[in-house]
A and B are shown apart, each in its own frame.
Chain A
Amino acid sequence: MGMTNIKSVSRNTWLTLCASLAGIILLFVIEENFDRFTMQIFKLCAINVILALSLNLINGFTGLFSLGHAGFMGIGAYTCALLAMTPAQKEANFILQPIVPWLLDVHLPFLPALLASGLVAGLLGWLLGVVAMRLRDDYLAIATLGFSEIIRVVLTNAQPITNGSLGLKGLPRYTTMWWAWGSAIVVTVFLVLLIKSSYGRAFKSIRDNEIASEAMGINVFGMKVLSFAISSFLAGIAGGLLAHYLTTIDPKQFFFLKTFDILLIVVLGGVGSITGSIIAAIAVTASMELLRFLDGPLNFGFMVTSGTPGLRMVFFSALLMIVVIFRQQGLMGTSEFSWDALARIGLLPRRKRSHRSNGKTGKERVE
């Protein structure tokens, strides 16, 4: 058993290394060849991957129905923007009321600003968690939704800090393809390591049976708060990336409906699957653009409709309904990508069957 395990791990390691290399080369090729519009969509895919993963951590792996994501994104976006803008840019933006003096001269490079946006969102998530994690199910959803709206209202009204409903314009375009996808890859690796660790098992045990989890010595409340804070941290990072991707932010973008866009991705991909969230995030973001023709006039041959803005979303609503009726577990359910799974469905050559004591397919790994 030891022998085969070592062999299978080394094969999988090789495959992973090759795939990573291929991925990096692919990113170079895309960067070189695609036009600016396609690149923008490609970057948005990465940001949505981070958002979907962070929402899946709390909704899928810890089993808490939270709807506060848009708020944490907003916190991240504003924190990152205000820290990374130059004093001159800030002065140009704040025309109604001058910016508070202590914030005017703060000017950080992108990386510290991005980390700060995660930390501020994570801290707020932790604070909200300490209060809201005493609730469960629908009540938790309502509380987090409410909190997200509170954040938006504060952003709208804290004129001297956020410039209110005028928003912030002309942010430096820091979110390059490398920043976006680099962050998405780091977040993915982090989440895979987290979920496969003892903490990940504790999160999943809460999702599966809260009372049993507590009876097995897991500090359920503490774990929920931790999961919520990590999720908020990642949402903050995504918000920061989004701000410097769009270069213009205003409070309306972080309306609670934004949360449902992310929730759509998580549900389509599979609640509790990292692989599912990544695939769905890319697929949904790409189809949002590909289906843009639905919003314009449609020519059916016998008749031409006038343009109906929003018809795209009808498509996604229908898709969601189909998924909920016919495949509730989403694309991946709770399963994850693995080379062994590919081998099992015949996309990779099977390894020779070996003398395994229990005849299980290579599910175990050397931890």
Chain B
Amino acid sequence: MMGALLETLDVHKQFGGLVAVSAFSIRVESGEIVGLIGPNGAGKTTSFNLITGVYKPTRGRVLFDGRDITRLALHDITRLGIARTFQNIRLFKDMSVLENVLVAQHMRMGTNLFEATLRLPSYLRKEKHIHEQARALLAEVGLDALEGDKATSLPYGKQRRLEIARALATEPKLLFLDEPAAGMNPQESAELMDFILKIRDQFQLTIVLIEHHMQVVMGICKRMYVLDYGVTIAHGTPEEIQKDPKVIEAYLGAP
């Protein structure tokens, strides 16, 4: 059982009387793209929040890279190498496109207040370096020409790409994408699939994604987990999932 990059062991989350997620156990190997699907309200985003530290599980453990991260704070988990995007886009609205990416680099910059306010040469070097990196990342997602624009002035699809660029700026090993194709047309979804495969190879990422566009999920995920009412009802390759009677029932209702 060694070697998994991410492993959740019997994770439960209860909000008052509501069990949002129960017995959630997944394994993600390094370099994989894993899908997490399920009908609305199945607990997919809650599972993301439990792994990335937004919520703490009621029970169970989360292991990342062989470390127990269950009780760690969100920013410490990010430091270890887990980054994410959000289903309802959460950009820094009054900041520019470039600044949005620069914020994500603060953590790895290793500066201190003294050096930063006095603009010591060591700080200026770091600042120059992260500017170059941020511009390179923006070029990667095709937003380099818009770096001075306000983040929220971008059209929806570009805001999603900016969220991905920002997540990449934290230099993650594992990237969680929460509905990256939401609101995209088939053409854009196809581009997004290529893009996800490209960044996976380029940045040596492992990716877990929540998605409703079956075309996208089936297209790029080798394995997937299906949630319904917080319970993992199926797990397997796209072909296995498509034939699974429980999955069909969850999506279409019992025959």
Contact = CB atoms under 8 A, between A and B. Distances in A.
A205 interface: yes
Given A197-B116, A218-B75, A367-B127, A360 B92 contact: no
Interface in B117-137: 117-119, 123-124, 127-128, 130-131
Interface in A190-237: 190, 193-194, 197-199, 201-202, 204-205, 207-209, 211-220, 226
B107 A216 contact: yes
A204 B117 contact: no
Nearest to A63: B94
Contacts of A194: 113, 116-117
Interface string A320-359: 0000000000000010000000000000000000000110
Given A198-B127, A218-B75, A218-B103, A212 B92 contact: yes
Contacts of B145: 357-358
Given A217-B79, A272-B94, A360 B148 contact: yes
Interface string B82-115: 0110100011111100010011111111010100
B192 interface: no
B30 to A, nearest CB: 21
B54 A201 contact: no
Contacts of B170: 216-217
Contacts, number: 112
A216 B78 contact: yes
A214 B167 CA distance: 12
Nearest to A363: B148
A220 B76 CA distance: 11
Contacts of B47: none
B38 to A, nearest CB: 22
A215 B83 contact: yes
A217 B104 contact: yes
Contacts of B52: 215
A189 to B, nearest CB: 10
A322 B210 CA distance: 47
Given A218-B103, A360-B148, A367-B131, A198 B79 contact: no
A219 B123 CA distance: 20
B131 to A, nearest CB: 6
B5 interface: no
A137 interface: no
Interface string A235-254: 00000000000000000000
A214 B118 contact: no
Contacts of A367: 124, 127-128, 131
Interface in B188-225: none
Given A211-B90, A215-B54, A190 B107 contact: no
For the residues of A in contact with B, the DSSP-based class is helix
Category for how many chain A residues contact B: 20 to 34
A204 B147 CA distance: 17
B148 A211 contact: no
A217 B76 CA distance: 7
28 contacts: A193-B118, A197-B116, A197-B117, A197-B119, A198-B105, A198-B106, A199-B117, A201-B102, A201-B106, A202-B106, A204-B95, A208-B92, A211-B74, A212-B92, A214-B73, A215-B54, A215-B75, A216-B103, A217-B78, A217-B106, A218-B106, A220-B75, A226-B113, A272-B94, A357-B145, A358-B145, A358-B147, A358-B148
Given A197-B119, A201-B95, A208-B95, 11 more contacts: A194-B113, A198-B106, A198-B116, A199-B117, A208-B94, A209-B91, A215-B75, A216-B107, A218-B75, A358-B147, A360-B148
Interface of B: 52, 54, 73-75, 78-79, 83-84, 86, 90-95, 99, 102-109, 111, 113, 116-119, 123-124, 127-128, 130-131, 145, 147-148, 166-167, 169-170
Closest 10 CB pairs of A and B: A217-B107, A208-B92, A212-B90, A217-B78, A197-B116, A216-B104, A205-B103, A214-B74, A363-B148, A209-B90
